Chain A
Amino acid sequence: MNYIGEHLWAAELGRGLTAFSFAFALLSAVAYYQKGAQWKTLGRLAFRLHATALFGLIGTLFFIMANHYFEFDYVWKHTSLDLAPRYLFSAFWEGQEGSFLLWMFWNAILGWILTYSAKSFEGPVVGVFAAVQAFLVSMILGVYIGDLHIGYSPFILVRELSENVGLPWTQFADYLTRFPNFADGSGLNPLLQNYWMTIHPPTLFLGFASTLVPFSYAIAALLRKDYKSWINSALIWSFFSVGILGVGILMGGAWAYEALSFGGFWAWDPVENTSLVPWLTMVAGAHLLLIQRNKGGVMPSALFLLILTFLLILYSTFLTRSGVLGDSSVHAFVDLGLSGQLLIYLLFFTIGALGLLLVRYKGLPKKEKEDRMDSREFWMFIGALTLLISGLQITLSTSYPVFNKLFGPEGVLFTLYDRNKVLNEPIAHYNAIQVPFTIIITLLMGAGQFLAYRKTTTASFFKRQILSLVATTVITFAGSAALQMWNPMYIFLFWTSCYAIIANAEFWLRWAKGQSAVAGSSVAHIGFGLIIAGSLISNANKTIISQNDTFIHEDFPSNENLLIEQGDTVPMGNYFVSWSEQSEEGHFVNYHLDFFEEKDGKLQPVFDLKPRIQINERMGNVAEPSTKHFALKDIYTHVTYADLRTAEELGDEEWKNQFEIEFNLNESHYLYGKYQVTLDTLLVDAPDKDGELEYAVLGAGITVKTMDDSTYKVMPVYVVEGNEVKHMDTEIKELGLKFRFDRINYETNRPVIVASEHKEEEVPFILVKAVVFPWINLLWIGSILMALGTVIAVVQRLKRA
């Protein structure tokens, strides 16, 4: 059948380019592996053809998305007609296929650069790139061999999806115009309609791609048995990777903090963890390379860490894309059924790379002489080891879902335990374990600068940094006192991170006389110290100022949402807040919150915030926070509830907001955010006549206490006579409240009271959550400095190389 209106040429082109790209990547890998100049030329040509085909297919996908060809499944799922063009990039990498393409794009760019820069290492280095690319392209190949499918193509048409094949609607040649379904796509998830989503994924995936360069150099060194000439290039690329991956991860944090309502920048989510861990091992590996170049003796560990980093990236890919994390992560991808293929990919490189390292292990250059305990290399090695252990701990704890699949009740290997394991309080768990590791790392970061390679004299070690030690101690205690932070572990970490900042500054400015050679490392270390100090302080001392503890019963979980009625001004932390109006702006409803401070008994406006809700019928509404930044603190707010119904939908019943309360005698409950209701007495009158119950009258004596301490007493009555039930409701006219003795819960033998509110009492209101994060700017300044420091370090090394 010839379908009308389909853009089959795009499908043909896209799939054709995918196939070419795959074939050339394979050819390139094989050719580069052979010996001889001709093979190398062929390998290079094949790699560039692979990259060209890949760019072509990415261009094709962009084209069909920009033109909204909704017969394509990927286009239909990720774009819609009303999608602003600036979000086209976000839509492109929203799905698994697109994000694989983004990753491949960077690999192709880096590989292409290496065809020029790797010189004598080009063969094995770009060869590894080609092999990795072949695996990645296979993820979007979309080839079916019998029941087995290899990859999932972004160029598949909706009518070609296995669940649609053979359905009656596919029998219409004009299905595109016949069915309204194809008039518009499903659109981009509103959470992702944000500028961070445009810059965070490309940076992160460039970080992912960059880990492949040191890995390829390590493999090349092992294949060639040449353990010297690779170090300089690998060193530059490792620090490039540290910088980019670090910035990518921090951008994710900034995005979560600025635009998502998670209430923070880091949540120890599996997806965050599995990108942090390769960064930790890359930092360790890059520092080991530094030792190797300056002193030697750590070749096996350096190779191991650089290889491990890339393997951890693969593991991360497997975890986030195979559907394993479904129960434990908020932002893993949807399972496309590629888990088998991902597993093969992971195992191929793990077994291949670690196997090669084992085979070559005997011939690796080893230490001739043991490091002294007072040498810089010894403590840098300890630092690297600490980073590795810290990373492995995060990996183990994040891998619970994997252990459950392997050894749990439905274990693939065998059953070790009869219930699936889980972390109940992941944030507390990771913080408790990672804080000591961070203390060691920051301590070494400061002290390391004052240690010399080979040996250091104790006197000069302390003498040179006496200023730093004094300044750190003074600042730590002054800071802790200002913040009222008295947890000893936190003070210790605060001390070590200040020490890392100050000692590096002193070393650079005073002892190295501001030399550009150590500028990179000093600035990056200062940045890292600031990141740790900022994270510690803003998290350990964050206060939820929207906490409403008036009237809260002692068993009642504390409520972190403050109710603000329109026009009312309520206290919140040190401020008073009022909600005056709301405004619509495109897909957004903005809520105008005005913050006041009390001065001389009067309220002075200080600032205003506009947290908003994005209205999205298809995907559900999403709250976006609004944050007021001060030098020393941030005030972060988001609307956790707002009634978005129109007047028509609200209806006009007289009594609204029915709320059921099941009481124990003398128990208090919290009602409508402003009343405390207590069951004082329960009266029962149940006379029996000739041994049978004639009737029963039950009265519940209830006390209602308002915010301004006025008290009202009411007694709703419940009458049972034979099969008939009667209610005598009571009203408090002043408050517009009505109580009904609804029934007795026979399971618990407790009275159930239903409260409702008169419609005139119903003033529009919103619920707001507000958090103060003190000193969080340290974190952002630190992030910028760390990125800057890495750039300086890379540029300096490039100049010297």
Chain B
Amino acid sequence: MKNSQVAIIIAIAVLIGYTLVKLGNSATYSDFTTAATAEGETTTVIAYLDLDAEMNFVPKSVQFSFGAIDKKGRKQRIIYYEPKPQDFERSEEITLTGYDADTAFIATEILMKCPSKYNEQNEVDSEKIYK
């Protein structure tokens, strides 16, 4: 057998092995219910901002807390030990990476999807006109 063929076969084997291993033990998007059963384990949850819940940022202790609702409708208190992200109120959907502690979900990373980030809806307020 040719050397280069051996090399290609090894390379393909590495890649297939990698894919199988990755798909086997890769993490999945979770929800707050599942996160609560595995306290302390890092998961990623896609959620929406709970507008009814209190949103509070205490700069001096760098603690930002807010409410979120996951796709199954479960509400959860989120604590984020980082400054409040810009434009947080405007976010449509929030991807939260973090872990569940008994009182709240501790987010280590927050990714927001904002309608305003690259585009803004062009809504004409027809009530507002020049007199």
Q: Is the CB of B90 within 8 A of A620?
A: yes
Query: Quick one: which of A367-404 are within 8 Å of B by CB?
Result: 367, 370-371, 373, 378, 381-382, 385-386, 388-389, 392-393, 396-397, 400
Flag whether A32 is at the interface (Cβ < 8 A): no
Query: Quick one: which of B1-38 are within 8 Å of A by CB?
Result: 2-4, 7-8, 11, 14-15, 18-19, 22-23, 26-30
Q: Which residues on the B side are within 8 Å of A167 (C-beta)?
A: 124, 126
Q: In the assembly, what is the distance between CA of A425 and CA of B113, in Å?
A: 19
**Central interface residue in A95, A421, A422, by most chain B CB within 10 Å:** A422
Flag whether A470 is at the interface (Cβ < 8 A): no
Flag whether B111 is at the interface (Cβ < 8 A): yes
The residue in chain B whose Cβ has the minimal distance to the Cβ of A381 is: B4
Q: Which residues on the B side are within 8 Å of A563 (C-beta)?
A: 59-60, 62
Q: In the assembly, what is the distance between CA of A333 and CA of B117, in Å?
A: 9
The residue in chain B whose Cβ has the minimal distance to the Cβ of A186 is: B120
Taking A161-B122, A423-B27 as contacts, is the C-beta distance between A334 and B117 under 8 angstroms? yes
Q: Is the CB of A423 within 8 A of B116?
A: no
Q: Is the CB of A397 within 8 A of B22?
A: yes
Q: Which residues on the A side are within 8 Å of B76 (C-beta)?
A: none
Stretch of A1-9, A101-109, A310-318, A667-675 contacting B (4+ beta carbons < 8 Å): A667-675
**Central interface residue in B18, B28, B60, B103, by most chain A CB within 10 Å:** B60
Q: Which residues on the B side are within 8 Å of A620 (C-beta)?
A: 86-87, 90, 116
Q: State which of B46, B62, B106 has its C-beta within 8 Å of the C-beta of A767.
A: B62
Q: Is the CB of B129 within 8 A of A180?
A: yes
Q: Is the CB of B129 within 8 A of A178?
A: yes
Query: B18 CB to closest chain A CB, in angstroms?
Result: 6
Q: Is the CB of B119 within 8 A of A95?
A: yes
Q: Is the CB of B62 within 8 A of A673?
A: yes
Flag whether A641 is at the interface (Cβ < 8 A): yes
Query: A192 CB to closest chain B CB, in angstroms?
Result: 9
Q: Which residues on the B side are within 8 Å of A144 (C-beta)?
A: none
Query: Quick one: which of A317-349 are within 8 Å of B by CB?
Result: 326-328, 330, 333-334
Q: Is the CB of A334 within 8 A of B125?
A: no
Q: Is the CB of B118 within 8 A of A73?
A: no
Q: Is the CB of B7 within 8 A of A385?
A: yes
Q: Which residues on the A side are within 8 Å of B125 (C-beta)?
A: 179, 181
Q: Which residues on the A side are within 8 Å of B106 (C-beta)?
A: 557
Query: A431 CB to closest chain B CB, in angstroms?
Result: 15
**Interface bits A346-371 vs B (CB < 8 Å: 1, else 0):** 00000000000000000000010011
> Interface size for chain A: under 10, 10 to 19, 20 to 34, or 35 or more residues?
35 or more
Q: Which residues on the A side are within 8 Å of B42 (C-beta)?
A: 424-425
The residue in chain B whose Cβ has the minimal distance to the Cβ of A404 is: B29
Q: State which of A95, A327, A389, A556 has its C-beta within 8 Å of the C-beta of B11.
A: A389
Flag whether B93 is at the interface (Cβ < 8 A): yes
Q: Is the CB of B59 within 8 A of A641?
A: yes
Q: Which residues on the A side are within 8 Å of B103 (C-beta)?
A: 662, 748
Q: In the assembly, what is the distance between CA of A367 and CA of B103, in Å?
A: 66
Q: Is the CB of B124 within 8 A of A640?
A: no
Query: A323 CB to closest chain B CB, in angstroms?
Result: 10
Q: Is the CB of A670 within 8 A of B4?
A: no
A-B contact pairs, 26 of them (CB 8 A): A94-B118, A158-B124, A167-B124, A178-B130, A179-B128, A181-B125, A327-B93, A378-B4, A389-B14, A421-B23, A422-B27, A424-B43, A556-B81, A557-B108, A559-B62, A561-B62, A561-B82, A620-B90, A622-B86, A640-B83, A641-B62, A641-B83, A659-B61, A662-B103, A674-B60, A765-B60
- The residues of B with any CB-CB pair to A shorter than 8 Å are 2-4, 7-8, 11, 14-15, 18-19, 22-23, 26-30, 42-44, 46, 58-63, 81-84, 86-87, 90, 93, 95, 97, 102-103, 106, 108, 111, 113, 115-120, 122, 124-126, 128-130
